[in-house]
């Protein structure tokens, strides 16, 4: 299994440009999520999905869109990049093994710089 | 909203020392997640616990639900344990509130 893969690993954008961060998992997990990690702050949830066709907003959704057309893929779209979106982005997939117990796997991250 | 606090923020140790990292949260949760972020940036799940204690190799995680507190212990620390350790309060399904992490450096 490849686990959770993310592309690209690095990206530099100009303000106003749009792009899509790709995320894929081959573990057939229902739950997938996108986080951003900024210096001095904990990981913050951007959007998440509980299954194909179902997405919801997390803590910091503004400026981002997601879709989940398949179980495997969960792309994150930046509509019009802003310097405040400079961050490291992590995709994760998880599944619940029982009440109060789940397993979560993270992708390697995408380091995005917006100039 | 749940507040998750970790202490200390930074920790240095000599190889072989016993390490303790603390995590406290403000609102009841269904579970507490400990993760390790390697210097290269990759994040690995270490433990998920909702009560008691779990052990994996030299790592031990404990949680006290009444006190809303969890600890991660590393016995016989080694330089390869150098990483950022993150705790996350699992509120519901896929909703996690992350702490800011504890940066650990273990010197030979």
pLDDT tens-digit readout, A87-97: 999 999 998 87
Q: Contact B52/B60 with Cβ under 8 angstroms?
A: no
Query: In this model, does residue B11 exceed pLDDT 70?
Result: yes
Point out the residue among A40, A90, A99 whose CB comes nearest to the CB of B43: A90
Average pLDDT over every residue of A32-41:
93
Query: In this model, does residue A77 exceed pLDDT 70?
Result: yes
Whole-angstrom Cα distance, residue B91 to residue A72? 25
Select the more confidently predicted residue: B2 or A37. Answer: A37
Contact check, Cβ <8 Å, A42/B88: yes
Q: Contact A92/A113 with Cβ under 8 angstroms?
A: no
Contact check, Cβ <8 Å, B42/A106: yes
* Residue A40: predicted pLDDT: 85
Average pLDDT over every residue of A54-73:
96
Point out the residue among A50, A90, A100 whose CB comes nearest to the CB of B94: A50
Confidence of residue A100 (pLDDT cuts 50, 70, 90): low
Average pLDDT over every residue of A39-67:
93
Query: In this model, does residue A99 exceed pLDDT 80?
Result: no
Picking from A16-20, A33-37, B41-45, B103-107, which range would have the lowest pLDDT averaged per residue? B41-45
Interface with B, mutate which of A103, A104, A109 (most B CBs under 10 A): A104
* Whole-number percent of chain A with pLDDT over 90: 84
Task: Tokens for A83, please give them.
Answer: 């310097």
Confidence of residue B90 (pLDDT cuts 50, 70, 90): confident
Select the more confidently predicted residue: B95 or B48. Answer: B48
Contact check, Cβ <8 Å, A44/B98: yes
Whole-angstrom Cα distance, residue A56 to residue B69? 29
How confident is the prediction for chain A on average, in pLDDT?
Answer: 93
Sequence-distant (≥ 6) Cβ neighbours of residue A98 within 8 angstroms: none
Residues of A in contact with B54 (CB under 8 A): none
Cα separations (Å) of A51 from A31, A43, A71? 6, 22, 6
Average pLDDT over every residue of B22-51:
90
User: Hey, is the C-beta of A104 within 8 angstroms of any chain B C-beta?
Assistant: yes
Chain A, 60 to 89: residues with Cβ < 8 Å from chain B are 88
Residues of B in contact with A99 (CB under 8 A): 30, 50
Average pLDDT over every residue of A61-72:
97
Confidence of residue B52 (pLDDT cuts 50, 70, 90): very high
Confidence of residue B93 (pLDDT cuts 50, 70, 90): low
* Whole-number percent of chain A with pLDDT over 70: 97
């Amino acid at each position: 299994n490849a686990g959770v893969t993310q592309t690209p690993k690095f990206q530099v954008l100009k303000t106003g440009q749009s792009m899509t961060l790709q995320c894929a998992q081959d573990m057939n997990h229902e739950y997938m999520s996108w986080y951003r990690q900024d210096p001095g702050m904990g990981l913050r949830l951007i959007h998440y999905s509980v299954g194909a066709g179902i997405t919801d907003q997390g803590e910091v959704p503004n400026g981002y869109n997601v879709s989940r057309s398949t179980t495997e893929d969960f792309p994150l779209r930046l509509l019009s990049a802003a310097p405040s979106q400079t961050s490291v982005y992590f995709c994760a997939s998880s599944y619940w093994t029982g009440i109060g117990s789940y397993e979560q796997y993270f992708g390697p991250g995408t380091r995005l710089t917006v100039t | 909203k749940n507040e998750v606090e970790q202490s200390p923020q930074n920790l240095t140790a000599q190889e072989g020392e016993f390490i303790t990292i603390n995590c406290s949260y403000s609102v009841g949760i269904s579970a507490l997640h400990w993760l390790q972020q390697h210097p290269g940036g990759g994040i690995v799940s270490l433990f998920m616990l909702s009560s008691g204690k779990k052990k994996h190799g030299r790592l031990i995680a404990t949680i006290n639900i009444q006190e809303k507190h969890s600890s991660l212990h590393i016995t016989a620390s080694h330089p390869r344990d150098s990483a950022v350790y993150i705790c996350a309060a699992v509120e519901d399904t896929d909703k996690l509130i992350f702490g800011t992490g504890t940066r650990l450096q273990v010197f030979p």
